[in-house]
Amino acid sequence: MTDRSTAATAQPGSAKTLGTVVETVRRIMRADTASVAAFSLAEHTITWKALSGFRGREGEREIVLPLRGLAAEHAASADELLILEGVGVSDELPASEFPLHSAEGVRTVALAPLLTRGERLGALLVGFRSAHEFTAEERRTLEGLAEMAALALDNARLLETVSTAKRIWEQTFDAIPDGIIVHNAEMRLTRANAAAAEMLGCESPAEAIGLECGAAFARLFGVRAAAFHMTNRMGAASSFEIQAEDGRRHLVAVAPLDAVEGGAGWSVITWSDVTQLSEMQEQLSRSRRLVTVGQLAAGVAHEINNPLAAITMCAEATMRNIRSEPSLAAAALERNWNFYLEEIVRQALRCKLITRGLLDLARQRRARREPCDLNALVTHTVKLFEHSAAARGDGGRAEFELELDDAVGETATDESLVRQIVDNLLTNALDALGARGGRVTVSTAALGERVRVEVADTGSGVAPEMLARIFDPFFTTKEAGKGSGLGLAVATTHAEALGGALTVESKLGAGSRFRLWLPRRAPETRDEP
């Protein structure tokens, strides 16, 4: 009659209804058996939806049997009432094509097609174990009963369609990785998906039902975020970004459900974690700024370095001339000319360092991959800084500690770039200690597929509002004249060239931790010349 994919799969409620229908049909028709079946000519199957009077088959559901033979297929495709006499005993109606009825000794079967809205859903069958002549009234009665059975079967199919759609919707709703909640006009949750329930700390979505929306926001994003965003009930669609107390960022969208019965005030709220996306956007923005700086540096560095070289040369020549003439030397000492000339040289050299830093930002150098003993590199660099601090008379204010992980071993990376980064981080750490001194701890660690070089200090730390900009070019927390703001920007560029990253953690008044992350890779193989 119809393909099985479109036939109803009876649920307990609809199966009970169909069972009542066939019981009623059997009683009204005074038949020995009554049944409702759906046929699939494509798959050559017959599915029995409900049975009555079949001894040993009572209570069984969804009996699927093969549809065999011309007679059975003809019965399955009948468009009007069909009377089959001699079932299981005549050559035209062999028992193999009607196994269920033949096993019950049924010899006469009346088959009424179940039609609704022009669609063939199945058939209503009544059977008699002896020969039976159907009167015109019985035919009309059976056709009327078939209309009732068709309605019941159609309702069962529609119920299954709705139930299936509901299950699919619920599974889809819970499979969405973003959090989704729905609240009513009283600002209480009426629905939550699995992701939202987990973030709310509930064992199941049902446990979240009834929770006050402000309390839910406080659980999700913190009390301050809830107090700010839940003060006014948003009646229009809106979206905003929230940074939770744990530092993660979420994009929140609110959409009113105006069609909900009961009036306005219902909304669906969704949120997604955009922390990684925000970090990528910030990194992209920083890269764009670095490109702009690099283009500027490439255009003006050469023009600036030439005048600086001339200024330096002239200042140094003037100092030599002054020192060679006793009268001039005396006048220079009296008027402090030596200090002014030395300051000109110092500032010119400082300008050259700045332009070199700009060129370092502009260079797109490909990092080498050669064997590098990170522990040895770190140890050597720290010793150089200890000697340098002692030579300047600062050895007493800075205490260096080494914590090396032997599991780091040899890593394929660019040693010169790593050394520049560590030099820069140690310089910043010493500057952060200031006059009061403190401790600088340098450590290495092997962590899965990455290695980490960490430089931690007990210095002044960085304020939270400045921490987000600490890797930007020309941004510095040092006093005027003591930093160009290019050191960390160059270090970040080098770290990215190495396939790694540079991260920072800092607390104002408690020091900072800079971490250089590098991939653990095998050295490149080079062809012999």
- We report the CATH number of the domain holding residue 330 as 1.10.287
306 and 220 inside one domain: no
User: Which CATH number belongs to the domain containing residue 236 in this structure?
Assistant: 3.30.450.20
Half-sphere exposure of 284 (CA within 13 A, CB side): 6
Q: Is residue 507 part of a domain?
A: yes
Residue 97 is assigned to a structural domain of this protein: yes
Say if residue 279 is exposed, middle or buried (CB neighbours under 10 Å; 0-12, 13-18, 19+): exposed
Same domain? 42 vs 154: yes
Nearest to 14 by CA among 53, 46, 50, 45: 50
Task: Assess if residue 528 is contained within a domain.
Answer: no
The whole-angstrom separation of Cα 39 and Cα 76 is 6
Beta-bridge mates of residue 34: 52, 126
Question: Hunting for tokens 């269920």 — which residue is that?
Answer: 100
Is there a contact between 440 and 456 (Cβ–Cβ < 8 Å)? yes
- pLDDT of 59 reads 63
The answer on 261 and 121 residing in a single domain is no
pLDDT in tens, the chain (529 residues): 333 333 333 345 567 778 888 999 999 999 999 999 888 878 888 888 889 999 877 666 678 888 888 877 888 888 889 999 999 999 889 998 898 999 999 999 999 998 887 788 888 999 999 999 999 999 999 999 998 888 888 887 788 788 888 888 888 888 888 999 998 888 899 999 999 999 899 989 999 999 998 889 888 888 887 777 775 555 567 888 888 877 788 888 888 887 555 556 788 889 988 888 777 777 777 667 666 766 666 667 667 777 888 888 888 888 888 888 888 888 888 888 888 888 888 888 777 766 766 666 656 556 778 888 999 999 988 988 887 766 655 555 778 899 999 988 888 888 888 988 898 899 888 888 877 778 899 999 998 888 999 999 988 888 877 777 777 766 666 655 455 567 787 788 888 888 888 998 888 888 899 999 998 876 555 444 4
503 and 386, same structural domain?
Answer: yes
If asked whether residues 109 and 183 sit together in one domain, one would say: no
Residues 147 and 38 in one domain: yes
Domains held by the chain: number? 4
Q: Which residues contact 232 (CB under 8 A, 6 or more apart)?
A: none
Residues 19 and 151 in one domain: yes
Instruction: Let me know: does 505 contact 395? Beta carbons within 8 Å.
Output: no
Spatial contact of 273 and 249, defined as CB atoms under 8 Å apart: yes
Asked if residue 444 lies in contact with residue 451, where contact means CB atoms within 8 angstroms, the answer is yes
Residues 182 and 303 in one domain: no
Q: Is residue 4 part of a domain?
A: no
Q: In the β-sheet with 511-519, what is the strand arrangement from edge to edge?
A: 398-403, 438-447, 450-457, 511-519, 501-507
Strand partners of residue 412? 371
The answer as to whether 502 is a domain residue is yes
- In this structure, the answer to whether residues 84 and 156 fall within a common structural domain is yes
HSE (side-chain half, CA atoms, 13 Å) at 129: 8
List the domain range (segments joined by +) for residue 183: 177-273
- Residue 2, domain member (yes or no): no
Please check whether residues 158 and 217 belong to one and the same domain.
no
pLDDT of residue 475: 64
CATH of the domain at 63: 3.30.450.40
Is residue 39 domain-shared with residue 154, that is, in the same domain?
yes
Residue type, 379: T
Instruction: Please report where in the chains the tokens 């029995």 appear, as a residue.
Output: 48
User: Are residues 136 and 33 located together in one domain of the fold?
Assistant: yes
